[in-house]
Structure 1
Amino acid sequence: MLLPVKWLRDYVDIDASTKEISEKITDTGSHVESIEDRSVGLSNVVVGKILKIENHPNADKLVICTIDTGDEELTIVTGAKNVFEGAIVPVAKVGAKLAKGMEIKDSELRGVASHGMLCSLGELGLDSSVIAKEYRNGIYIFPEGTEIGQDAIKALDLDSEIIEFEITPNRPDCLSIIGMARETAATFDIKLKEPEIKFQEEDTNIKEVFNDVKIETSNCRRFYSKAIRNVKIEESPLWMQNYLMAAGVRPTNNIVDITNFVMLEYGQPLHAYDLDKIETKEILVRMAKEGEELLTLDNQKRKLKNTDIVISDGKEAIGLAGVMGGFDTEVTENTVNVLLEGANFDQDLIRDTARRLQLRSEASAKFEKGIDPNIAKIGVDRAAQLIKDFEAGEVLSGCIDAYEDRAEEKVIKLRPEKVNKLIGFEISPQEMVDLLERLEIKSKIEGDHIVSIVPTFRLDLSIEEDLIEEIARIYGYHNIEPKPLEGTVTVGGRSALRNLEIRIKESLFTLGFNELITFSFVGDSNFDKLNLKKDNKLRDAVRIINPLGDEFSVMRTTLISNLLENLSYNEHRDNNNVAAFEFGNTFKPENGDLPSEEKKLSLGFYDIGDFYYLKEAVREIFWKIGIKDLEFKRANVEFLHPGRSAEVYYNGVSYGVFGEVHPNVLKNFDMKKRAFVGELLVERLLDFAIPNYIYKELPKYPATKRDLAFILDEDVDSYSIEKIVKKNAKDLLEKYEVFDVYTGEGIDDGMKSLAFSVIFRANDRTLKDEEVNEIIEKIIEDITKDLSGKLRE
């Protein structure tokens, strides 16, 4: 926010430099971004009056002006088209310095001597965005009555510095000159001088020219209006134009300038309607109809949604509430009668409308942060006063004020002992009251408490701690003496889940995996790319109200799509042997306000192994947790190959799936290489995790290894064989591993050859061949009988 210091001093009698003001107000919590002195580099520019204009004898596009500068007359040649005899203009004398390092010297233009230059506002350093349209491409013309010969820099207030503040979102009351003046007054402990709003009204009542205002939606809290007749549309006084330009607003005409001035002054956006163009002579505030169109002030047709608030005449929309007025009721140079509006709208809807239509305005920027509805009347009455002071119109008596849900002052009880405990030093209850009173928070001591009445413009104050913060910052954080921290010391540590993550990560790092961190936001297209059916529970996702785009519109329910996006990204950049994993939260909607979260682990690779390599990685993860007795069943998951995927169980409960990615899914992710992925519900395994490992001495006795191969139906999974091996080998089994699966020549259709190795070892003796052979014979017998397997010789 831009705060012209000259404007600030209108409300605060303060004997301090701009730098001192900035330093002091920073000490009480307001963040100063910069201080701008617009007069730096400008000199020797005065206010002059054009006495005579003659045509240039040697150039059709140039004229010769005789200028009265108060102490002398100058001859200046110019090509400006908007000059005229009697115009009061800024004159740069010889030796003057202007913006961008320009220096004025005596010159001769097509044979005629020129002793200076007439200036535009741009040449005096003003940005084009704050220059009135009629002066953007020409010489600036001062209003009639401007004193001749005075310093033009002072006449334009360019010698008045501007402080730029960063206003935090919780302090919308500071988005106004009065708001920052109130902060300044509190900082320096001086009284704020608000404008005294008094003006003479006409005998004619507003009800005689305007019928009524009705509010149909709860999203409009207040609509206050007054009527002005016999309006004279002309330029604003120079002082008001200077204030507006210094605050970053372009002057337009007196009526529009007054509404903008009050918006900057009090933070209350106002709007002026051409009253004669409101045919029904009534206002209806309602929600827009879906697809309804409105021509806004910028002459653009806007298509509205039913979440937009509109101002209508009872028939058609004539304004987009809180954002921009309608073109058809715009105040123009032909306007005679005006209706002034000061209203209060739902801040969230205003923000959504402005963002959707890409129609950010000064008004929407203020409404979307929250405004006290009680300021609406003050703003309109202040505008009416200025119109009367400028003799720009006649203010009719009375008003129309639609205001049912009135904002009331909040009462907060404050405990002085808690104040001193939190801020860390002792001040008396009376000092606390005095500090709060400086912020216009009426307070008094009642027994052991301080009772404070919070004004309605302080939307950010609602609890005791808020007032404690106000006391501390106005007292000055820099005045608080530092003290050692007090309190019990606790030993920090990682959570059990975090420790489990670290153990699993270490294991995956040793297997050649790299860690990923991806966004929690995805799009519906991710579910389509995974070939998920319409009724798949993973499609039941939490939707973002204000997404950055379609690809970030929902919160992820699985990590697999993020993992495959990453694998695809690496494949397209010719990276080989890629393996990656991610620990991340997934989300699903709940009946309450917040979605439920669950931490999952995804892992995947290409080029470094097959299904069984991934299976062993899964085993390793569970081993790190402390779980060895796993069960594997064929998985039925849309994004995995139906014959090369598995679901992992422990104690009869599923804890994840893994396998080769379905070919169709690979195409969806534009991958050509075979990829293998898995997703595990590691958070649910926390209850089974061992706190640490128990190490045993290396075995003393040798192991015995046997390799077997069977012809089996292709639907028989390897885990069925593993269960038979475990049942017969019992404690003597050290390792079971599948090392080959073959189909093709020599193997009947629908059958496969599965080869595996079995390692036996006893802890207390050397195993004999007879003992091992007996176990092998039982394994062969059970596989033959239970799985219809045939041993390959």
Structure 2
Amino acid sequence: MFVSYKWLQEYVDLSGIDANDLAEKITRSGIEVEGVECPSDEIKNVVVGYVVECEQHPNADKLNICQVDLGEGDPVQIICGAPNIAKGQKVVVAKVGAVLPGNFKIKKAKLRGEPSNGMICSLQELGIEGKITPKEYAEGIFVFPNDVEVGSNALAQLNLDDHVLELGLTPNRSDCLSMLGVAYEVAAILKKDVKLPHPKADESNEKATDYISVSIDAKEDNPLYIAKVIKNVKVAPSPLWMQTRLMSAGIRPHNNVVDITNFILLEYGQPLHAFDYQRLGSKEIVVRRAHQGEKMTTLDDVERMLSSEHLVITNGQEPIALAGVMGGANSEVQNDTTTVLIESAYFNGQIVRKASKDHGLRSEASARFEKGVDPNRVHAAAERAAQLLQQYAGGEVLQGSVIAGEMNREPKKISISLEKINRVLGTTLSTEEVTAIFTSLKFENVVDGHTFQVTVPTRRGDITIEEDLVEEVARLYGYDRLPTTLPVGVAIPGGLTKYQEKRRVVRHLLEGAGLYQALTYSLTSEEKSTQFALNKRESIGLAMPMSEERSFLRQSIIPQLLESVSYNVARRNDAVGFYELGTIFLKNNENELPEEREHLAGAITGLWETHEWQGEKKPVDFFVVKGIVEGLFKKLSIESSIEFQKAKLDGLHPGRTAKILFNGEVLGIIGQVHPQLQKELDLKDTYVFELDATYLLEKEASPLHYEPIPRFPSITRDIALVVDSSVQASELANIIQTAGGKLLKDVHLFDLYEGEHMELGKKSIAFSLTYFDPERTLTDDEVVKAHEKVLNAVKEQVNAELRG
């Protein structure tokens, strides 16, 4: 649930508390706030501009030269390529010096010979997702209504200076799937009152019952159905403030009628549906189960095959909506709609869930019905819709509502003693303190001695037993204020061994890097049993295998991970990263059981990073996987003992493969899968690694060594060395490090060049060398002497020359 801080202020006084402080208080009370975002934080210098003139660019068919008034005197010239730009519009303008999302800075420019002093923006360029922008502005720039002030802050007009709290709700807290529900929660936390809307529309003399009748054949599925009729509606865009609130909640604006129903869904948590009265085809609404094999076309223009387990709204003959899920295309509100029928109903969550699941239609409405809506808001939501349609669509509300069915959902009454609350929580709360908590929650309560008689409002359907009330007291009192006690018992609680702790560190790091844990078969085919093995031995076959493909014990995990990657890629999951911490089996003597060792392996393919807004895509490569492995070594504090050595191994690319050495002993392998094997598995570039985890995790890590922050400056020298193509960068780095002595603190490779300006068989490798003494400031002479030793060493040992 996305909650607008500004919108929330209309229901609860939030003065003196900012959005981040509020988020922390909500999280402490038991509802996790997963994030707080303010879209305007990374946008600067964006205003409302007025297009005074708009003419076609003389040198470009798709560009226009616009003279734009920014409210600062003379208009400025801006070149715009949007297809919907026109004279007389009020638009979003990023002035020269403005900053847009992604740190995109607006500068003066020339486009096809004409100067441009700024940029006329679309909503997408302001960071709003294309899927939630109004359709008429999905392509092109955004146009403001005429009542906005030229030169005013465009971000404020678009509500982008608002803070949006993302609530991670558990299924039991469906009451907070509405702004009013969140308002009750926040009011309880802050000990403040809730300001509720009081909808009231002026009604005409005509009666709604003269226009429509409602009957319910499936009363268990739909105990209550309310219809209101509004005439003379003018379908148009909804007010800008309403559109921006919908977009901040992740809902695309359509028109004033549809937007009002979505607005009330967010405000009350009660889904509504608007029918075009003239397109109903009758003057009656019948709610029933669908006939087996009955068909209807929903608003997404998909024909749906219905069954007797689905609930439908009909015009007495054919379905016009799939109850609680989606309306029908045959009764959709369109631009020529003048009379609207508003549906507000209570549908059984299970029947809605069944239809939603069967048709793959999970909507904001179905999610709320599934989790449970407040039955006492059904009528209020319909009245609120009528009020807003009268206010923002010019509608004429017909007298009364057409109501079918009834709901007698009385608030639950639960008794609980003060002694039980304190006993369960380990507190010493007084009667007054508990009463204050129930009152802040707007729960009516009466104290009889030391027993509370609590009336729970219908909006809190999650509270049904005494323990629920105990939880309410605990979270409003403060989980952090509850006393802590140690477990009492004879046995001492166990702990993790160092090996187990390291194994957990490995899992956390790899999952943090974006890899998913896989659990693959330990059994494989004879061909794959020794493939990629670090310590290849004779294959171990089963005496009674279930199949030929699972007849041998594996000596490497990589083949099984590649099977998983291939399986996913074949199903259009193109970016895949798996790891497995599992067992491999090595044969001993004939009469001995095989040696079991734990190995860690990973396989990654596809795009590693995708920043669609910036147009950046980074496919996985050797250095991405190497970086993950190096991060693991650093986390285990063994990076100083690790060395990567070029290697050629069966099944891996001959030029992109390395052995991983730990203190000179082979610890694992890393590299790209051989192109031939990739082709057999129908994979693109795929990279793998495998480490002997038993050996790795049993090794003691180097003790942490802290050094004081240096007080003296370091000196950096860059060198580019021309060497034979066969010389490896690591070899050069080791020579440099050794020759540099104690003053050389860091050797960093930053460039490799092989091209037309380089002699055949040669390459240029550039390093950055940092010289430093923690005790004093180095002189130029000292650095020159050390640097000359480095240059002499690389010349003598690998015949390296400084690149001119």
TM over 0.5: yes
The reply to whether residue 39 of structure 1 matches residue 53 of structure 2 is: no
**Equivalent-residue separation in structure 2 for 1:139 and 1:129 (angstroms):** 15
Alignment of 1:460-539 (within 5 A): 460-484=462-486
Alpha-carbon distance, 1:467 to partner: 0.8
Alpha-carbon distance, 1:392 to partner: 2.9
1:283–1:313 Cα contact (<8 Å) kept: yes
After alignment, is 330-339 or 220-229 more displaced? 220-229
- Partner in structure 2 of residue 303 of structure 1: 305
Alignment of 1:91-490 (within 5 A): 91-484=93-486
- CA gap 1:570/1:86 in 2 versus in 1, 3 angstroms: same
Alpha-carbon distance, 1:567 to partner: 7.1
Aligned length: 509
Alpha-carbon distance, 1:44 to partner: 1.0
**Equivalent-residue separation in structure 1 for 2:11 and 2:80 (angstroms):** 42
**Equivalent-residue separation in structure 2 for 1:40 and 1:270 (angstroms):** 34
Alpha-carbon distance, 1:491 to partner: 11
- Partner in structure 1 of residue 63 of structure 2: 62
Structure 1 SS opposite 2:180: helix
**Equivalent-residue separation in structure 1 for 2:544 and 2:310 (angstroms):** 43
- Could you say what the CA RMSD is over the residues aligned between the two structures, in angstroms? 2.4
- Partner in structure 1 of residue 2 of structure 2: 2
1:46–1:149 Cα contact (<8 Å) kept: yes
**Which amino acid is the alignment partner of residue 60 of structure 1?**
D
- Cα displacement string for residues 295-348 of structure 1 (whole angstroms, at most 9, x for unaligned residues): 000011000111011001111111000100000000000001001111111112
Alpha-carbon distance, 1:455 to partner: 0.6
Alpha-carbon distance, 1:74 to partner: 1.2
> Where does the alignment leave 5 or more consecutive residues of structure 2 unmatched?
495-518, 522-541, 555-804
**Which amino acid is the alignment partner of residue 135 of structure 1?**
Y
2:276–2:332 Cα contact (<8 Å) kept: yes
- CA gap 1:489/1:297 in 2 versus in 1, 3 angstroms: same
- Partner in structure 1 of residue 768 of structure 2: none
Alpha-carbon distance, 1:91 to partner: 0.6
The reply to whether residue 572 of structure 1 matches residue 532 of structure 2 is: no
Structure 2 SS opposite 1:388: helix
**Equivalent-residue separation in structure 1 for 2:10 and 2:108 (angstroms):** 41
Alpha-carbon distance, 1:365 to partner: 1.2
Alpha-carbon distance, 1:391 to partner: 4.5
Structure 1 SS opposite 2:106: coil
- Cα displacement string for residues 277-298 of structure 1 (whole angstroms, at most 9, x for unaligned residues): 1222111111111111010000
Q: TM-score, normalised by structure 1?
A: 0.62
**Equivalent-residue separation in structure 1 for 2:183 and 2:149 (angstroms):** 30
Structure 2 SS opposite 1:39: helix
**Which amino acid is the alignment partner of residue 289 of structure 2?**
M
Structure 1 SS opposite 2:24: helix
Q: TM-score, normalised by structure 2?
A: 0.61
Structure 1 SS opposite 2:470: helix
Structure 2 SS opposite 1:368: helix
**Equivalent-residue separation in structure 2 for 1:338 and 1:40 (angstroms):** 41
Alignment of 1:593-742 (within 5 A): none
**Which amino acid is the alignment partner of residue 410 of structure 1?**
K
2:545–2:551 Cα contact (<8 Å) kept: no
The reply to whether residue 26 of structure 1 matches residue 27 of structure 2 is: yes
**Equivalent-residue separation in structure 1 for 2:406 and 2:490 (angstroms):** 53
**Equivalent-residue separation in structure 2 for 1:203 and 1:115 (angstroms):** 58
The reply to whether residue 51 of structure 1 matches residue 52 of structure 2 is: yes
**Which amino acid is the alignment partner of residue 11 of structure 1?**
Y
**Equivalent-residue separation in structure 2 for 1:269 and 1:288 (angstroms):** 21
- Cα displacement string for residues 611-650 of structure 1 (whole angstroms, at most 9, x for unaligned residues): xxxxxxxxxxxxxxxxxxxxxxxxxxxxxxxxxxxxxxxx
**Equivalent-residue separation in structure 2 for 1:191 and 1:409 (angstroms):** 20
- CA gap 1:65/1:518 in 2 versus in 1, 3 angstroms: closer
Structure 2 SS opposite 1:45: strand
**Equivalent-residue separation in structure 2 for 1:370 and 1:480 (angstroms):** 31
Alpha-carbon distance, 1:263 to partner: 0.3
- CA gap 1:274/1:154 in 2 versus in 1, 3 angstroms: same
- CA gap 1:566/1:204 in 2 versus in 1, 3 angstroms: farther
Q: Which has the larger radius of gyration?
A: 1
- CA gap 1:88/1:489 in 2 versus in 1, 3 angstroms: same
Name the % identity.
Answer: 43
- Partner in structure 1 of residue 531 of structure 2: none
**Which amino acid is the alignment partner of residue 61 of structure 1?**
K
**Equivalent-residue separation in structure 2 for 1:12 and 1:61 (angstroms):** 49
**Equivalent-residue separation in structure 2 for 1:482 and 1:492 (angstroms):** 17
**Equivalent-residue separation in structure 1 for 2:111 and 2:138 (angstroms):** 24
**Equivalent-residue separation in structure 2 for 1:8 and 1:448 (angstroms):** 36
Alpha-carbon distance, 1:196 to partner: 2.1
> Where does the alignment leave 5 or more consecutive residues of structure 1 unmatched?
494-516, 520-564, 578-793
1:216–1:284 Cα contact (<8 Å) kept: no
**Equivalent-residue separation in structure 1 for 2:215 and 2:491 (angstroms):** 62
**Equivalent-residue separation in structure 1 for 2:325 and 2:490 (angstroms):** 53
- Cα displacement string for residues 630-676 of structure 1 (whole angstroms, at most 9, x for unaligned residues): xxxxxxxxxxxxxxxxxxxxxxxxxxxxxxxxxxxxxxxxxxxxxxx
Structure 2 SS opposite 1:203: strand
1:89–1:140 Cα contact (<8 Å) kept: yes
Alignment of 1:536-575 (within 5 A): 571-575=548-552
2:109–2:115 Cα contact (<8 Å) kept: yes
Structure 1 SS opposite 2:309: coil
- Cα displacement string for residues 472-520 of structure 1 (whole angstroms, at most 9, x for unaligned residues): 111111122324557x869999xxxxxxxxxxxxxxxxxxxxxxx999x
**Equivalent-residue separation in structure 2 for 1:492 and 1:160 (angstroms):** 49
Alpha-carbon distance, 1:5 to partner: 1.0
**Equivalent-residue separation in structure 2 for 1:226 and 1:241 (angstroms):** 24
2:257–2:393 Cα contact (<8 Å) kept: no
- Partner in structure 2 of residue 598 of structure 1: none
**Equivalent-residue separation in structure 2 for 1:106 and 1:243 (angstroms):** 33
Structure 1 SS opposite 2:337: coil
- Cα displacement string for residues 41-98 of structure 1 (whole angstroms, at most 9, x for unaligned residues): 2111100111111222222222211111111311111111112221110011111111
- CA gap 1:442/1:67 in 2 versus in 1, 3 angstroms: same
